[in-house]
Structure 1
């Protein structure tokens, strides 16, 4: 066997004989000058066993080398069998082959495919390449063939009819070849057809003088020419089989469509299976600009804006069809279509992409092995399930390649002959068919179990609803359920059924409403106040009538419906939040995350995961992601507080952490936006030189649910410096625009509302001052110009985002200002004057003696804050440690430790402060004013007033003319 006999000894007998016979045929057909190098290659200790395996396990390769023995020498001597090819080399190599003077398009394409199929199968069968390289290389091979075939065919048509020109733009129009399915995801198998759709941007006609054609006719001819070039079987075989059935209207539809026609079709007639098919769509010709425009147009059809539970019925129907097809066609031996096969893994991933991809951009990827980890990161699938699916997918794809590479046939059927089975086991590195078959069965069983769990019908789907149709209910039925005001409830339901409200709804939406309402009424009956729960939830129902996918979400997930009812019964604030932002209903699906508010590090990690795949320059996407992130986590905090899992201090901590993490990302996005336009400002260090400095509740780590943010923007760079970009601007202009961009991102109203309301009035010189200050100017203002009340505000100030170096410098400025020696009597007079002014303007005049306004009433929150601020300003020059903290609780603890207030007084003030703010939080969730019965808080009020007398008793408030700066 000419030096191959020793190489086949490790193969099973049947495969060894097949390899030997094939090798004899190769040598017999080789040119005389080829035989010696071929024999040397077979004798090589490394190449020989690889060659033996290929000849034994691939009849296709054996036949190819029998016809073209020199192909093996070319591949071996070029080094291509040993290396992964870079992405750009495919187009370059095929282009060079076609540039040869005698090159024929059809022959060159087919021989290019033969060479690279030899290389791909060699590396795959000998495990020199992993699964990902094999599918990537096969896809790049197809893309190169499509690209160059299109170029040649188009040039021939242009010569006859001229160039296609857009009627509107007047620009030359390209044919956009959209790769679908596995080619779109660069997951092509080694004997796959390619699914394509053809599109072009604009209607118009060619600019040929003799025979102009409409653009549609030109591109139809071009599409047919491309298909014939690739698909026709010649003496050298075919290039790739082409399947066009995924285009609009299928085989009966036009071969090509312009962008407007595609958009109209998918908007008006697109079906869910087409959304499923388009998940992997990718333009592979036509230029980056047109391709990006096409994908922007298709994305809203494929990925609904938010979580899309409305698609579940369709997916469930698809799943039933898949199961039925397996049973009907007897596909047990098919590793793609059979139970537990490749298609089921793809279905699991693409279902989650359709349902959640609109909100979670990480799922808007084409490659399955990138989508699966994202499913684990986002909590769509457990990490162990994802790992099982990943392992199964790679195993099944390797099996598929071994089956198809055996005879270059598009099949996924397991072989039933002994030689085919031995070849498959050998490629898959198993000693025999039985051991391979057992491993395959294990993977398929695990996949099938996960597939069966996916979008399973609700457990009680077969049960009859306990309630009659909601439009047939009467007061007695609701009374028996526990509704105390049944007649009022019926009136609210009648209002929801109002004909004018329902008339414009699609039939599907009306049907879902009919199914949902009995479930809602029963769920409300399960809480303590059914009437209140129903009253608060109905605005949400009205808000989603035209987006009934949200009703499906709740019908599919009874625990989520129960959580919704419980939360809305407890808090009208939560009910309004959900009515305004129904997308947050998705948060109810996972009770463990709903009732766990992450710490700062986890928040940073989660936000980073959500925005990492979004370009920093995609402002709208970043703003949407930030708004969802903030709203979802505030909801989690509120839910946790409702269950009593978070005490007041932790609630404020969590809300503060959310704001800080959001501000960090806002600054990052704003910076990227400005730098992309103007370049970076000249400054010391590599960081931004910019800090967001916060006062008030955020500065004091005491944020509440509806708090605005008191911010000041500071930068440390030469104001006369300039940015590095072509459109250079002064540093001062850059940082001013950076501050404006931060405010824009925070305050712009979008479908998910604003991020935060911003108050900039505490900046130097207030509303009349510059939006952004230099560090030097800020320090000078605080030292020379600021009023005492501004120094009071500085007690609760700190850096919350930005350059750490500048933040440290600001900390030093704050410490220096707060530690200035002050006349205690004068300071006390100014503080008391400001307190009286606030009470005069902010305390309700109609408040009776038995009512207590938590913030402004004597003995309330602000009195505690003012005593703390006075203490810091009066005594920090002696005890600088008082400036360490910006929150009232820890400052009070420091005052007790230093003996400035008695420890018992500090403990009592802390208890009062926590009690007042806890009540304030609870009232905010109930959307009630911060007014309580004075008797309920008498002890705390008396404690605060007594200490106020101790600190300020006998102090005369200074008039405004007496106040010192």
Structure 2
């Protein structure tokens, strides 16, 4: 009997070796079966290395007890202690699988299957498994032999001799051998049936994909043909009997349990269809009736048993249909919807435990990989593998998936599959649920090599890999590029020069020879870059063609690609990041402005992706294209100016930021106007106009603030001798600047305490002169012209005045036009307090108490009439001039501003510098009728959009429609008019502005409003 001290020592030793019930383990070690080895350190170390030492010890004890006599028991123990491979294998299996421990207890001599340790034993295939099953002549014996083979796979698996992919492959090979053995039994039982038909068994699902689980249905499809001279009907009946018998042999439960269910529900018409069909019947069904998911399932079809020639013919006949499936209507959407239905069908209580079907599970990887295969595999045969990890590797090699993404998915898939394997191995039950019991989790974690805090580590690893899968599934499975590639005609999904010319002509490229040169330069060679380009270009060509100038779009794409060719993120962005590729195509083919901006700073293409720093987005605008606020722009520019060595360097940096942000705004405008595959065009044109006007105005303000800081910092250090502010006027003050607008401003200063007024004036004038000089330095960036003509006394007056000087002038000399102009005055840069005091100074002029006197009203009307007659350019069509023409911008703005001058003193809502806001306030106050307000708003928005379009298309400002046919078509495309509809666009513009002019004549010239 063991002493108390010895028991305590053993208890501690067993705890240290990973036993959770050391008392029970101690009793087992004291049993007669283990008396000869109870103190052997080799045994304890081997038990400690298992997933569950308690389970392994119980299983070993049962195996020893099941030996027929002491001699057999001694032989097992001697072999166990002398042969480390056997010790590791046998105890590893016993510690991971209670079910295989039960099998060994029933068949105590099967442990010998683990003794052999030869090269062929490391990676067994179908022939070895067929050899292992060869002596089984009935279903019961087949089950025993199957478990014996399974034992050898499990032993290599838990010992790490084979990895999870090899384990899954061996399980599929064992299933193949088992199906062959079962079919042989069925044929032996009914030789007359076997003589009537040729029957082939096609593996589907994980068995077909060579990636089977330990416990899984084995999906199959049966195809048969009559044997020579046999009647087809009789042959099919015979084949059906053989197939049914095969399924019973594998599926039915005997004293040795079952092997696995054979599931034939993936056959045409599912459970309602005949179990066996001829090849012609299969082909007819898939040609006429098959659904999208059925072609997806056929990805994994593989002949495994029966007539090999017939099986190969089945695959050869159906394979072309698999790779044409992506051309079906709504193919991508159907596959995506099918995945969503699978998730929706999971019980809520199980959703978070699902390793296979739940979000972030195995199905997410498989569906993403299969969708990419089906879309891109039409043209790239290297992608046509039924094995998930092999297909993923091919997708990465071909450039369809980023290397890092593929590696992350590979690691996550391997972890999830190995976890699933070990869960199923324990009791050999079909389950995909993460266990909840702590002991089960501990055993599972240890089986995966997580020995320190196995439960905590397991949960952490699971969350990490599940999160990776969920993120990458969303990224790949819902990639907008897939829809576009799937919609290409057969043969177009992968660019080939021999087919390119014909497609270029059909798409409307004016110079297909030049376009071909660009394509060859972009896609030639075997580099990864060229491979990705060959995938992208067929889709991009279609998007370029959906513009007025596809040739320019392709040329610009080549320039951008040449500039960024060595940048690893560029093509990855286009392939992976949401609508980035389509956004780029729209931007590069929409005119000159955006491509010119991009080619000066190609790295700005990153803004076209899903990420970005914007804050105020809208429909149709990718995250990176959302405009940034004035505060953030100013913060960035001021910080850059502070780091610059000179004022010129500081303004150079500020102009660089302006270039980038102008591109951001122009790109968002184009994308919002054109729409994309995933986002329709902006439904509200006014929202686009407001976004452009606000973004360009904020950018201009931030640029002026940076320029002011650069000048002051270089000449005076931290503080100018006088307070200084910039007041925005006109469209600038109204937050309505266009891409090519000048910035109308006033400059105001106020001497600091103790500073001589002459010195302050000298400093202020020096600041203005230097700001204007710096902003006019030659540059490839779009110019920022500062216009000061709205200052008191116009061009003859001083550029900058003190606040007191402004007050004196306005009190004594102010004219009606100046009150009118001051309606748009708003501080935009410099001393905020001084800017606020300036607006307080001018408020009584622009919002006169008691309203505008009749003499002043007549003067405003006279000025407007004079402007109409004198400022419209000679030869300009007054019905098409967006600024000064009939019903154009000036008509609407002066009408609204007259209402403001008359009524803003008593209606605070009218006190805004923005035209549309003031118009809305006038409507709310019932100063302008709702219908009239809608007419004016529509005309103002349309005229503004035309001006923006002209600048985007031509790269220079213009107030009327272009005369060049292609430029006119590009303006029309921006405004939503398809090819050949330029005439409709002009008619609509004239109709809209004519209605607006009618309202203006009534409200501005005749009304007392």
Which TM-score band applies after superposition, normalised by the shorter structure? 0.3 to 0.5
Q: TM-score, normalised by structure 2?
A: 0.45
Larger radius of gyration: 2
Normalised TM-score (structure 1): 0.47
